[in-house]
A = this chain, B = another copy of it.
């Protein structure tokens, strides 16, 4: 699936998340980049981004990255998340860069880094595991 395919899939299957303004910038076989624009409703006045918002962004990043590899298996579910919060996100767009760590028949694991646009300092990172349903 291409970045445009993933954007369409998100809009169709998860209109709530799509409405937040998340942009799928690019995807390849191992990595993906998403962007949460500063104008998103997920970002509170003053520019602060809550922990749950960063969790949502990290989760959708790895989820789309997995789907990009295995196709639109809408039922892949998150089984575990390990997430670190390093610093308050500065104002501006928040960028999520995801990477496949493992893509197995039953489990897929991805790692995602969140940083502000134009900064290399990490705001947060997460390691997320998905269970892939048996395919018949």
Q: Which residues of A contact B (CB under 8 A)?
A: 51-53, 55-56, 59, 77-87, 101-102, 104, 106-107, 109, 111, 122, 125, 127, 129, 131
Contact = CB atoms under 8 A, between A and B. Distances in A.
Copies per assembly: 4
Contacts of A79: 84-85, 107, 129
- Classify the interface of chain A: helix, strand, loop or mixed: strand
30 contacts: A51-B59, A51-B78, A51-B81, A52-B52, A52-B53, A52-B55, A52-B56, A52-B59, A55-B81, A77-B85, A79-B84, A79-B85, A80-B80, A80-B85, A81-B82, A81-B83, A82-B83, A82-B127, A83-B83, A84-B101, A84-B109, A84-B127, A84-B129, A86-B101, A86-B104, A106-B106, A106-B131, A107-B131, A111-B125, A127-B127
